[in-house]
Amino acid sequence: MPRGDKSSYTDKQKRQAEHIEESEKKEGRGAKAAERIAWATVNKQDGGGRKTTSKVAKKKGTAKKTAKKATSKPAKKATKKSASKVARKKTAKKSTRKTAAKKAPAKRTAKKAAGKKVAKKSAGKRTARKTTKKAAAKK
C-alpha cells in the first residue's frame, strides 16, 4: 500500500475527515493544510484505518492478542504493585516535608511575636523608669 493511501479507512472515517477539512478551510487554512489536519485528527481519534483485508486476518490478530494478554497479565500486576508501593513512599516523604516546612515558619512567627511582646514590656519599663527619674530630679 503506497503512502497516503486511504483505502484502509472506513466510510465513516472518510466522512469525518471531509467534515474536518471543510471546517479547517472555513477557518482560512489552505487545502493541503486542511487535509493534513483532517486526517491527523481522524488518526488520533481512531488510531488509523479500521478496515482489514480479510476475515482470516481478523481471526489471526485476535488469537495473537489473547495470547499476549494471557502472558502479560501477571507481569503487569507485579509491576503495578511495586510501582504503587514506590508512589506511596514518595507521597509519604513529600507530606512529611510539607508539614515540617509548614511548622518551621509557624515557630518563627511565634518567636517573633514573643520577642515583640518582650520588647514592648521592656520599652514600657524604660519609659516608666525615665518618668520616675525625671519626677525625682524635679523634687
Region for residue 10 given its phi and psi (left: phi exceeds 0; alpha: psi -120 to 50; beta: otherwise): beta
For residues 12 and 46, is the Cβ–Cβ distance under 8 A?
no
pTM for this model (two decimals): 0.38
* Cβ neighbours of residue 82 closer than 8 Å, sequence gap 6 or more: none
pLDDT of residue 20: 96
Banded model confidence at residue 11, pLDDT cuts 50, 70, 90: very high
- Domain-by-domain residue ranges, the chain? 1-55, 106-139
Q: Between these two residues, 127 and 92, which has the higher pLDDT value?
A: 127
Q: What does the mean pLDDT of the chain come to?
A: 77
Taking each helix axis as running N to C, give the angle between helix 31-46 and helix 11-26, from 0 to 180 degrees, rounded to the nearest 10.
Answer: 140
For the chain, what percent of residues have pLDDT higher than 70?
Answer: 61
pLDDT digits (tens, 9 = 90+) for 77-100: 666 666 677 677 777 766 666 666
Q: What is the DSSP string of the chain?
A: --TT--TTS-HHHHHHHHHHHHHHHHTT--HHHHHHHHHHHHHHHHSS----S-HHHHHHHHHHHHHHHHHHHHHHHHHHHHHHHHHHHHHHHHHHHHHHHHHHHHHHHHHHHHHHHHHHHHHHHHHHHHHHHHHHHH-
